[in-house]
Amino acid sequence: MALAIFDLDNTLLGGDSDYLWGRYLAENAIVDPQSYHDTNLAFYNDYQSGQLDINAFLQFVFEPLAKNSMKDLLAWRADYLQQKILPIILPKGLELIEQHRQQGDTLLIITATNSFLTTPIAELLKIDNLIATDPEMLDGRYTGKVFGVPSFQHGKVERLQHWLDEHQQEVIFIAIRIMICRCWSRSIHQSPWILTTNWPKLRDNVTGKSSVCVNNCYNSGF
């Protein structure tokens, strides 16, 4: 049985779900349209160039979550999924997901985008396992802070190792072959965590050997 790991933005989706949420908020005047649009775009450009300040970005992204009721957030999210996400789900991504599903593989999405947005997207893709950046919640409302380690760069490695530790009863008693589908979305320089020696820590529990199979799809026309 293989563990097939997928990135989300610009891989299974033909766009960036975090950036598109910011656009949705601005277009619907849920936030100040011009200033939020400009800041959202600036963060997106930083992300693409590998210079994103993740803490500043998360403070920006989580502020609307903290300022609004869960009822409103859920209504906006449902509309956002219809308007921004469903049209950009990539058919070839769905084909690859189904290929791994038919093989009996365990499917996992790892993304830097927050779990408020990505949990329903994973449900749309029928993928049960998700590692995402988690916003903190207290008494039924978001606090505006991050909970735990952001799923970003080396944080993805840490979160994945933790996920494997938690799920070892489920998958590690069988030899694991980790497939990273389209290692990251745009260019390899944005994903130093893929190239680090941290990956050999993710070992086959049967053979004791590292068995990471990089299924590099990011030139495949997704």
* pLDDT value of position 182: 36
CA distances from 173 to 157, 169, 170, 177 (A): 21, 6, 7, 12
Question: How far apart, in whole angstroms, are the C-alpha atoms of residue 11 and residue 33?
Answer: 28
* pLDDT value of position 3: 85
* CB burial readout 20-46, b (16+ within 10 A) else e: bbbbbbbeeebbeeeebbebbeebbee
- Residue 200, pLDDT > 50, answer no
* pLDDT value of position 58: 97
Helix %, strand %, coil % of the chain (to 5): 50, 20, 30
Q: Which domains does the chain have, with CATH numbers?
A: 2-215 (3.40.50.1000)
Average pLDDT over every residue of 52-78: 97
Does residue 134 have an active-site annotation? no
Other beta carbons within 10 Å of 221: 7
Average pLDDT over every residue of 11-30: 97
| Per-residue pLDDT reduced to its tens digit, 156-184 | 989 998 998 888 744 433 333 444 443 33
Bridge partners of residue 212, in order along the sequence: 178
* pLDDT value of position 1: 62
CA proximity to 188, closest of 211, 165, 166, 217: 217
CB-CB contact of 182 with 218 (8 Å): yes
Of the candidates 7, 16, 18, 105, the residue annotated as catalytic is: 7
Does residue 7 have an active-site annotation? yes
- Residue 52, pLDDT > 80, answer yes
* pLDDT value of position 166: 86
> Could you write out the DSSP letters of every residue in 94-119?
HHHHHHHHHTTPEEEEEEEEEHHHHH
Of the candidates 9, 16, 18, 105, the residue annotated as catalytic is: 9
* pLDDT value of position 167: 81
Average of per-residue pLDDT values in the chain: 81
Structure tokens at 163: 């996920």
CB-CB contact of 31 with 134 (8 Å): no
* pLDDT value of position 47: 93
Other beta carbons within 10 Å of 106: 19
